[in-house]
């Protein structure tokens, strides 16, 4: 039998599983629509196949492609944050790499009747080009144009606040590093122990990690929607995956051409190179 602390500790885990499942089902629904569309369209010479075979083939390719391309997302997001590389270039590289195993799978499925006969290099390269064109287009839709699940603004999915802190929340005192907002769907989704003293928002795949003066918690929501919900706080999006409250900035760290904003608790937010001059003109740095 679990006490209050056990229930609080288990709730985020259950929410995390549900959010992950919702995100995956949303992705697979989109891939189904893409597979059906390509099956009806019949590109790359598949229009000669019987309609049913063509439709099932493109649906299979859509699901296999999801399994090949989707695991690259965390790696791209890490490289963007840690290496300060442009996201568009990272996604192109990720699509090019993921297209290699996808091409082998496509060729393998095409040779099921004669598994010991593989095409020559010219056909393999042509197949890779077609796979890269389709995979790159779908990657563009999902990760750059924001097609991936918009999420729901209800309920935290993972919290770094401890169960002990939840049962004995510390007194909340206003700080000079940020401003307070009364209420919003984003703040309503946070655990009370974290308060409403938002200092930064960080995009992590389907989720937004909300950093407050008391800790952080992940909420299933798009970054641009989360920013709207805290419009009362003076701040701005300084990076593709970061929004920062102006009064939360404690220092500015420069490493060559890379600029990072130092926030309370040792948190650092990267600044995109396009934003550096704008922050200087606005008097932020």
> What is the Cα–Cα distance from 285 to 23, expressed in whole angstroms?
37
Query: pLDDT tens across 130-185, in order?
Result: 888 888 888 777 765 555 543 333 333 344 443 343 444 444 444 434 444 456 78
Structure tokens at 192: 């009370």
> What is the Cα–Cα distance from 200 to 243, expressed in whole angstroms?
6
CATH for 156-166+174-281? 2.40.50.1020
Sequence spans of domains, the chain: 4-144, 156-166+174-281
- Grade residue 110 by pLDDT with cuts at 50, 70 and 90: low
> What is the Cα–Cα distance from 39 to 151, expressed in whole angstroms?
28
- 0.85 exceeded by pTM: no
Give the orientation angle of helix 51-69 with respect to helix 4-41, to 10 degrees: 140
Q: Can you give the three-state secondary structure of the chain, one letter per residue?
A: CCCHHHHHHHHHHHHHHHHHHHHHHHHHHHHHHHHHHHHHHCCCCHHHCCHHHHHHHHHHHHHHHHHHHCCHHHHHHHHHHHHCCCHHHHHHHHHHHHHHHHHHHHHHHHCCCCCCCCCCHHHHHHHHHHHHHHHHHHHHHHHHCCCCCCCCCCCEEEECCCHHHHHCCCCCCCCCCCCCCCCCHHHHCCCHHHCCCEEEEEEECCEEEEEECCEEEEEECCHHHHHHHCCCCCEEEEECCEEEEHHHCCEEEEECCEEEEECHHHCEEEECHHHHHHHHHCCCC
Distances (CA, A) of 154 to 9, 22, 208, 269: 18, 13, 12, 25
User: Which of 201, 281, 205 has the alpha carbon at shortest distance from 248?
Assistant: 201
Give the contacts of 216 (CB within 8 A, at least 6 positions apart): 160, 194, 202, 209, 210
Query: pLDDT tens across 201-253, in order?
Result: 998 877 889 999 888 888 888 888 889 888 888 999 999 889 999 999 999 98
Q: Give residue 202's pLDDT.
A: 92
What is the average pLDDT value for the chain, to the nearest integer? 75
User: Which of 265, 270, 251, 263 has the alpha carbon at shortest distance from 83?
Assistant: 270
> What is the Cα–Cα distance from 18 to 227, expressed in whole angstroms?
24
Q: Give residue 154's pLDDT.
A: 36
What is the pLDDT averaged over residues 267-278? 87
Query: pLDDT tens across 33-73, in order?
Result: 888 888 888 777 777 788 888 888 888 888 888 888 888 87
For residue 6, pLDDT beyond 50: no
Q: Give residue 170's pLDDT.
A: 46
> What is the Cα–Cα distance from 212 to 219, expressed in whole angstroms?
13
> What is the Cα–Cα distance from 241 to 269, expressed in whole angstroms?
9
Q: Give residue 5's pLDDT.
A: 40
């Amino acid at each position: 039998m679990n006490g209050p602390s056990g229930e609080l500790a288990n709730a985020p885990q259950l929410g995390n599983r549900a959010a992950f499942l919702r995100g995956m089902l949303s992705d697979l629904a989109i891939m189904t629509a893409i597979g059906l569309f390509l099956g009806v369209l019949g590109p790359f010479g598949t229009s000669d196949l019987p309609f049913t075979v063509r439709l099932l083939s493109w649906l299979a390719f859509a699901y296999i492609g999801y399994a090949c391309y989707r695991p690259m997302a965390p790696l791209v997001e890490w490289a963007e944050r840690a290496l300060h590389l442009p996201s568009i270039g990272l996604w192109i590289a990720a699509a090019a790499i993921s297209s290699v195993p996808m091409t082998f799978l496509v060729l393998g499925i095409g040779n099921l009747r004669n598994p010991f006969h593989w095409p020559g290099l010219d056909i393999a390269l042509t197949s890779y080009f077609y796979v890269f064109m389709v995979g790159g287009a779908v990657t563009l839709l999902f990760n750059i144009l924001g097609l991936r699940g918009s999420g729901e603004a209800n309920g935290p999915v993972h919290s770094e606040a401890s169960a002990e802190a939840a049962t004995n929340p510390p007194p909340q005192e206003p700080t000079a590093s940020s401003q307070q907002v009364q209420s919003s769907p984003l703040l309503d989704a946070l655990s009370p122990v974290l308060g409403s003293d938002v200092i930064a928002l960080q995009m992590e795949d389907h989720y937004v990690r909300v950093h407050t003066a008391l800790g952080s918690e992940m909420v299933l929501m798009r970054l641009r929607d989360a920013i709207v919900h805290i419009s009362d706080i003076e701040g701005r999006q300084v990076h593709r995956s970061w929004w920062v409250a102006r009064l939360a900035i404690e220092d500015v760290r420069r490493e060559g051409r890379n600029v990072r904003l130092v926030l309370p608790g040792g948190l650092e937010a990267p600044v995109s190179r396009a934003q550096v001059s704008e922050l200087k003109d606005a008097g932020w740095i």
